[in-house]
Amino acid sequence: MSGRVCASIVQRASSYTLTLSSTAQFQPRAANICHFSSWMNSRIRSDISGEDSGSWSLSGRHLSTRQDLDFQLNQVQINSILRSNEQTVSVPEFDGRGLSAVRKFESNQLPANTPNEDRRSSATCLQSKGMLFGVFDGHGGWACAQAVGERLLYYTAVAMMSKQSLEELENCMENERPLPPILQWYKHHADFNYRESASLYIDHLRVFWQELIESEEHGEGMSPLEALDYSFKRLDADISLEAQVPLSNDLMKSTAIQVAFAGSTACVAHVGTDAIHVANSGDCRAVLGVLEEDGSWSALPLTRDHNSQNQAEMERIRSLHPPSERDTVVTEDRLLGVLMPLRAFGDVRFKWSHELQQSVLASLESGVDLDSLNLYQYTPPNYLTPPYLDVAPEITHHKLRPQDRFLILGTDGLWDELGNEEAVRLVGEHLSGIHLQKRQARASPALDTNAATHLIRHALGTGEYGELCQERLALMLSLPEDLARMYRDDITATVVYLNSDLARPQHS
């Protein structure tokens, strides 16, 4: 976080009317290595103590200055916040069907929104080979990211299954027998599913596999590349359809519409024994950590961000619309001046005709509060030739090598704070226990055993000169929820450790 951002936080916080019940003055603290954070805390305390009386509020919420502007979290409190959503899973080397390309994975999330709009998924394919990992960044609410996080891995796994295995699934459904499991999920205790929509999701997944059974070309199942491409597009089509058709109850209907009008980017990796396939739609990112011969770490990006900084993506978007719209399709670095990612699930406000949008919203019961569902009557400016948005993923195939040690998947909240090389260096140092400081290598234990937590700690707590600054970290973790989203995003990170021995030449 730059000094400019720190200063803007101070300016924002001090712009509200603040009062204290006590007239005691706050004393500036002595400066330490994290000079700017110390100055900032003193500045905020000075701003607060300068007022005579009253109370302050933000967005109609009255806040306690003692509770909400207490930036002095201690180390135990910081660790508790950072580690509350962390997950570590060790993967058996042999699962009964073959060697696993994944040794273990570590994941974590830190919300800025309330509730968190990011989601994550991880699972082993039980009817085919490999493991699937996904990170999903929701916008316009969490509804779409939730649905995609629950469903996308199932669609991908089903697409990779053979026709014979799909026929077995269908036979079990027809005869009301238990289905053989498709995925072995690795859930965090805080994860949840859309229980009210479970029957709808199963019905549409079944329609999907029925169509694959009827296809003469399916045979032994799709390759990971084909499965990822097809599952992204098919799930987005199902999300769109579910919002338009009559459903069995009002709750299911309102949920389907909420999912379709919200949006989510997605980055999903299939890790097989010899290769990684990554499908990306939006501005999440996948980066491979590579151990070079000299012992240094390098980053190999396996995705490209689909935003206005990607000139090839900008030209793709413009080519889909008349020349007269060339200057209005993307304005102020946003699609139609509104949306930052240029590919996403849901977001039917950028896909459907204006008439269809009005018709679907009108189909809700008259008593439904659209605001409570994050729904509103709004048409983006210059909405002339929809669709302006699609979910078609960009897919990368990478053949695994002995030097490929880990894969980092992260939502854009992580990459807003860390570059690819810095993230790989942090995980590499965490893995080896050798940390570089002031151009000297030193062996020291990391504060966190979980590499994803290690990334998040450094993303928010790195000081002006590259040092880890507890005051800066305390500030970012202490911001009231109304302010937090203005200065950082939800962060999700998953680190997948690869079994590099599988990529080594085999000698008899």
Tens of pLDDT along 84-116? 999 999 998 877 677 899 999 999 999 999 899
Tell which residue, 441, 336, 436, 331, has the closest CA to residue 389: 336
- pLDDT surpassing 50 at residue 438: no
In order of 15, 27, 37, 70, 75, the CA distances from 10 in angstroms are 8, 17, 10, 13, 23
401 contact partners, CB below 8 Å, separation of at least 6: 290, 503
Q: Which amino acid is at 72?
A: Q
Q: Give phi and psi for 459, each to the nearest 5.
A: -60, -40
Tell me the pLDDT tens digit for each residue of 356-400.
Answer: 999 998 888 665 667 767 777 778 999 999 999 999 999 999 999
| Residue 468 near residue 461 (C-beta atoms within 8 A) | yes
Which one is predicted more confidently, 65 or 30?
Answer: 65
| Residue 215 near residue 168 (C-beta atoms within 8 A) | no
Q: Are strands 61-63 and 56-58 parallel, antiparallel or unpaired?
A: antiparallel
User: Residue 404: how many CB atoms within 10 A of its CB?
Assistant: 19
Crossing angle between the packed helical segments 143-160 and 224-242, to the nearest 10 degrees: 140
**Residue 191 CB-density burial (10 A; 0-12 exposed, 13-18 middle, 19+ buried):** middle
Contacts of 451-454 spanning 24+ positions with Cβ under 8 A: 451/106, 451/406, 451/426, 451/427, 451/495, 452/86, 452/106, 452/107, 452/108, 452/493, 452/494, 452/495, 453/82, 453/83, 453/86, 453/106, 453/108, 454/426, 454/427, 454/430
CA 465 to centroid of chain Cα atoms: 28
Tell me the pLDDT tens digit for each residue of 217-260.
Answer: 999 999 999 999 999 999 999 999 999 999 888 889 999 999 99
Tell which residue, 363, 354, 412, 407, has the closest CA to residue 384: 354
Q: Determine the pLDDT at residue 202.
A: 96
Characterise 342 by phi-psi region: left (phi > 0), alpha (psi -120 to 50), beta (else): alpha
Q: Determine the pLDDT at residue 72.
A: 77
In order of 163, 289, 404, 505, the CA distances from 497 in angstroms are 32, 9, 9, 19
Residue 118 pairs in a beta bridge with: 137
Q: Determine the pLDDT at residue 432.
A: 85
Tell which residue, 89, 99, 101, has the closest CA to residue 404: 101
User: Residue 197: how many CB atoms within 10 A of its CB?
Assistant: 20
Here the tokens at position 284 are: 């999440």
Distance CA 1, CA 8 (A): 11
| Residue 100 near residue 90 (C-beta atoms within 8 A) | no
Task: Enumerate the H helices of 320-397 as residue ranges.
Answer: 354-362
Distance CA 131, CA 244 (A): 33
| Residue 212 near residue 159 (C-beta atoms within 8 A) | yes
- C-alpha angle with apex 31: 28 to 33, nearest 5 degrees? 150
Average per-residue pLDDT for the chain: 85
Domains along the sequence of the chain with CATH: 1-70 (no CATH), 87-396 (3.60.40.10)
Distance CA 220, CA 209 (A): 13
Distance CA 38, CA 72 (A): 10
Tell me the pLDDT tens digit for each residue of 456-505.
Answer: 999 999 988 888 898 999 999 998 888 888 889 999 999 999 998 777 76
Collapse the DSSP code of 138 into the 3-class scheme (helix H, G, I; strand E, B; otherwise coil) and give the result.
Answer: strand
Model's pTM, two decimal places? 0.86
Tell which residue, 118, 200, 137, has the closest CA to residue 345: 137
